[in-house]
Amino acid sequence: MDAGGIGWYFSGMEPRPPIPVFTLFGETSVFPDVIHCERVLDRARLHDWAISPHRHRQMSQILQIETGAAKARVDGRALDLGPGDYLYIPVQAVHGFVFSQGAEGTVLSFPTPVTAGMTPEMSSWLARPQQGRLSDRAAGLIADLRQAHRTTGTFRAQRLVGLAQLLLATMAEDSLDGIAPTHGAGRQMDRLDALIAGHLGEGWTARDYAGALHVTTGHLNRIVRTARGCSLSAHLEAALMAEACRLIAFTRMPVAEVGFRLGFADPSYFSRRFRLQVGEAPAAYRRRLQDA
Under a CB-based contact definition with an 8 Å cutoff, are residues 124 and 186 in contact? yes
- The CATH number covering residue 99 comes to 2.60.120.280
Answer whether residue 68 is part of any domain. Answer: yes
Q: What is the DSSP letter of 266?
A: -
Q: Is the pLDDT of residue 203 over 80?
A: yes
Do 200 and 105 belong to one domain? no
Residues paired with 81 in a beta bridge: 70
Among 209, 277, 217, 211, which residue's Cα sits nearest to residue 243? Answer: 277
What is the C-alpha to C-alpha distance for residues 156 and 148, in angstroms, rounded to an integer? 7
Do 151 and 211 belong to one domain? no
- The CATH number covering residue 268 comes to 1.10.10.60
Do 253 and 191 belong to one domain? yes
Q: Is the pLDDT of residue 75 over 80?
A: yes
Q: What is the DSSP string of 50-79?
A: EEEEEB-SSEEEEEEEEES-EEEEETTEEE
Average pLDDT over residues 34-52: 88
Answer whether residue 89 is part of any domain. Answer: yes
pLDDT for position 127: 83
As a whole number of Å, the end-to-end CA separation of the chain is 29
Answer whether residue 18 is part of any domain. Answer: no
pLDDT for position 189: 84
What is the C-alpha to C-alpha distance for residues 167 and 139, in angstroms, rounded to an integer? 9
pLDDT for position 56: 82
Q: Examine the fold and report which residue of 155, 176, 197 is the final residue of a domain before the chain moves on.
A: 176
Under a CB-based contact definition with an 8 Å cutoff, are residues 51 and 97 in contact? yes
Average pLDDT over residues 265-290: 87
Q: Examine the fold and report which residue of 153, 176, 199 is the final residue of a domain before the chain moves on.
A: 176
Do 41 and 145 belong to one domain? yes
CA distances from 198 to 174, 204, 243 (A): 29, 10, 12
Average pLDDT over residues 130-135: 93
Q: Is the pLDDT of residue 266 over 60?
A: yes
Average pLDDT over residues 178-186: 51
Do 192 and 264 belong to one domain? yes
pLDDT for position 253: 87
CA atoms within 13 A on the CB side of 84: 4
Domain residue limits at 120: 36-176
Which residue type sits at 143?
A
Q: pTM of the predicted model, to two decimals?
A: 0.62
- H or E segment to which residue 198 belongs: helix 185-199
What is the C-alpha to C-alpha distance for residues 191 and 196, in angstroms, rounded to an integer? 9
Q: Examine the fold and report which residue of 159, 176, 193 is the final residue of a domain before the chain moves on.
A: 176
pLDDT for position 9: 35
Do 197 and 244 belong to one domain? yes
Do 43 and 150 belong to one domain? yes
Answer whether residue 12 is part of any domain. Answer: no
Q: Is the pLDDT of residue 64 over 90?
A: yes
Answer whether residue 9 is part of any domain. Answer: no
What is the C-alpha to C-alpha distance for residues 135 and 80, in angstroms, rounded to an integer? 18
pLDDT for position 31: 54
Do 254 and 237 belong to one domain? yes
Q: Is the pLDDT of residue 268 over 90?
A: yes
Residues of the chain with pLDDT > 90, as a percent, come to 38
pLDDT for position 32: 54
Query: How confident is residue 207, by pLDDT bands cut at 50, 70 and 90?
Result: very high
Answer whether residue 24 is part of any domain. Answer: no
Answer whether residue 10 is part of any domain. Answer: no
Among 63, 60, 53, which residue's Cα sits nearest to residue 19? Answer: 53
pLDDT for position 5: 32
Under a CB-based contact definition with an 8 Å cutoff, are residues 38 and 107 in contact? yes
Query: Structural domain tally of the chain?
Result: 2
Do 190 and 224 belong to one domain? yes
Do 253 and 270 belong to one domain? yes
Do 159 and 199 belong to one domain? no
Answer whether residue 145 is part of any domain. Answer: yes
Among 101, 96, 83, 94, which residue's Cα sits nearest to residue 46? Answer: 101
What is the C-alpha to C-alpha distance for residues 185 and 66, in angstroms, rounded to an integer? 38
Do 166 and 232 belong to one domain? no
What is the C-alpha to C-alpha distance for residues 11 and 17, in angstroms, rounded to an integer? 12
